[in-house]
Amino acid sequence: MWSVSKSVSDEALLAGLASGDPEAAAAFVRRFQARVFGLARTIVGNPASAEEIAQEAMLRAWRHAGAYDRRRGRVETWLLAITRNLAIDHLRLKRGEPIDPDSLAAEEALFMRAPEDPGGEQRGEVEALRTALAALPSDQRRALLMAALWGFTANEISEMEDAPLGTTKSRIRAALMKLRGELGVADEH
Amino acid sequence: MSTRWSCDEVRALAPELALGIAAGDDRARALEHLADCPACRARVEELASVADELLLLAPAQEPPAGFESRVLGELEAPPPRRRRRALIPAFAAVAAAFAAATAMWVATKDDRDLASRYRATLAEANGKYLTAEALAAPGGERAGTVFGYEGEPSWVLVTVYEDERPAPGRYQVQVITGKGKRIGLGPIEVTREGGSGGESIPIHFHDVSEVRLLGPGRGDVYQAEFSGG
């Protein structure tokens, strides 16, 4: 039987979720629900849609918990990637609707703001990434976030930013490479 | 068939592949390369991990009251049945007959009846056997089913589940023989409702060792392995 506390690792909670342990499942949902809902809300805006997406993300995690491979990333990142993909699917269905640039700018600003209570064992690393992101030229940061969060293609970003396609691709590439360097991965080029 | 992309061409597209925003045709060609190039695959995966790290920056926000109990209520329910889209008509009769034979086996355990129905199905369709294997996502989870039919002609049918589908987009289907020969089949469109597609192949199915679905997202290759070749 599980003895669930804050000291239980994310991986152990996920294993408990996969095994059908109700206490582990409850602890898993409690531990990640704010991050999952927060990301969904950041991407889709609408709270009701964000809740549906967050709920579906938890169900996907439950279904696929057995396939999680820690070599491919942390549990939290894995779960947030599921959430992001669901949210982008949702947005693509509505892609015909006009995008409000002010709305994206507001979300970007929110995204860049450090939390008052960072918490969590990886927060130092996360805040270093936030600092690196903030240090990017604004056009690079914006292009990267439009792609990474909202799933816009380079063509779509190019049109929205009124910038040549080649410039947009260069901005995305430069931003991602800089962050990659900040995360301690040596560039082979 | 188009010329295969080089490492340089794939690496130029690596950021967009890592972010899952590369255009469909480019993705398909790059993924074809990635399936056989561990170095480029590692490069894309590394950039994808950077992109995923960005998600940790999103502000946490508590969901509306009752969220936890609603999720846990869903978790207590039995896993939903996987729904599949209707098979394409050209192969529906054979697949349905096979499914009926399988259902009969489950219902009655009557192996002789199963064998009889199976033989009748194959005789009607000039076939020798029908087989199926799970379509596995890169993480190992099941994403669909690949059917293979040995007959005149032989054919392949890929179905992707609605509720555990890969991301929507155009997916290239590729058949690989035991000797490494690659045969590209037409693409299938995967939507939020899943997707399926199939066609006859210019070789015997018993020569097929693998069927791949080259997906549009994040360098993923979906695979089903067969014993052919």
> At residue B36, does pLDDT exceed 90?
no
Tell me what percent of the residues of chain A surpass a pLDDT of 90. 40
Measure the CA–CA gap between B31 and B51, rounded to whole angstroms: 18
% of chain B exceeding 90 in pLDDT: 16
- Identify the three-state secondary structure at position B91: helix
| Confidence band, pLDDT 50/70/90 cuts, at residue A138 | very high
Q: Tell me how far apart the alpha carbons of residues B185 and B172 are, in angstroms, rounded to a whole number.
A: 7
Structure tokens given for B14: 């690596």
For A1-65, the DSSP string reads -----TTS-HHHHHHHHHHT-HHHHHHHHHHHHHHHHHHHHHHH--HHHHHHHHHHHHHHHHHHG
The answer to whether residues B19 and B113 belong to one domain is no
Do B119 and B219 lie in one domain? The reply is yes
Rounded-to-integer distance, Cα A5 and Cα A11, Å: 13
Q: Residues of A with CB below 8 A from B56's CB?
A: 35, 76-77, 80, 122, 126, 129
Residues A116-126 have pLDDT tens digits of: 555 554 567 78
Considering the domain architecture, whether residues B145 and B214 belong to the same structural domain is answered as yes
- Residue A19 carries which side chain, given as an amino acid letter? S
Q: Is the pLDDT of residue B83 over 50?
A: no
* Domain final residue, candidates B44, B78, B112: B78
Q: How far apart are CA B63 and CA A92, in angstroms?
A: 23
Q: Residue B32 falls within a domain, yes or no?
A: yes
Domain annotation covers residue B84: no
Q: Which of A55, A64, A153 lies closest to B21 in CB terms?
A: A153
- Count of other CB atoms within 10 angstroms of residue A116: 6
DSSP A66: G
Cα–Cα dist B26/B32, whole Å: 10
Contacts of A185 in chain B (CB under 8 A): 46, 50
Domain containing residue B55: CATH number = 1.10.10
Q: What is the CATH number of the domain that holds B169?
A: 2.60.40
Q: Is residue B156 part of a domain?
A: yes
Does residue B99 share a domain with residue B46?
no
Q: Which residues contact A186 (CB under 8 A, 6 or more apart)?
A: none
Question: Mind listing the domains of chain A with CATH numbers?
Answer: 1-97 (1.10.1740.10), 100-189 (1.10.10.10)
Q: Give chain B's domain count.
A: 2
The mean pLDDT of B31-55, rounded to a whole number, is 89
Domain stops at, among B15, B44, B78: B78
B33 with B96, same domain?
no
Rounded mean pLDDT of A98-104? 64
In B, minimum Cα distance to A113 occurs at B59
Q: When comparing pLDDT for B225 and B95, which is higher?
A: B225
In a shared domain, residues B70 and B120: no
Task: Please tell me whether residues B61 and B106 are part of one structural domain.
Answer: no
Is B199 or A158 the better-scoring residue by pLDDT?
Answer: A158
Question: Are A183 and B50 an interchain contact pair (Cβ–Cβ within 8 Å)?
Answer: yes
Instruction: Please report whether residue B83 resides in a domain.
Output: no
Task: Give the neighbor-by-neighbor strand order of the sheet with B127-136.
Answer: B182-190, B169-177, B208-214, B221-225, B127-136, B142-151, B154-160, B195-201
pLDDT at A147 over 90: yes
Give pLDDT tens digits for B170-221.
Answer: 788 888 877 777 777 878 888 777 778 887 887 888 888 889 888 765 556 7
What whole-number distance in Å separates Cα of residue A25 and Cα of residue B135? 28
Q: Determine the structural domain holding residue B62 and report its residue range.
A: 1-78
Residue of B nearest to A119 (CA): B60
Is residue B74 located within the same domain as residue B124? Answer: no
Q: Is the pLDDT of residue B106 over 50?
A: no
- Over residues A17-33, mean pLDDT: 88
State whether B64 and B98 are in the same domain: no
| Statement to judge: residues B64 and B96 lie in one domain | no
Residue B122 pLDDT level (bands cut at 50, 70, 90): low
Q: Do B110 and B143 share a domain, yes or no?
A: yes
Q: Which helix (H) or strand (E) holds B188?
A: strand B182-190
Co-location of B119 and B99 in the same domain: yes
Q: Give the mean model confidence (pLDDT) for residues A54-61.
A: 92
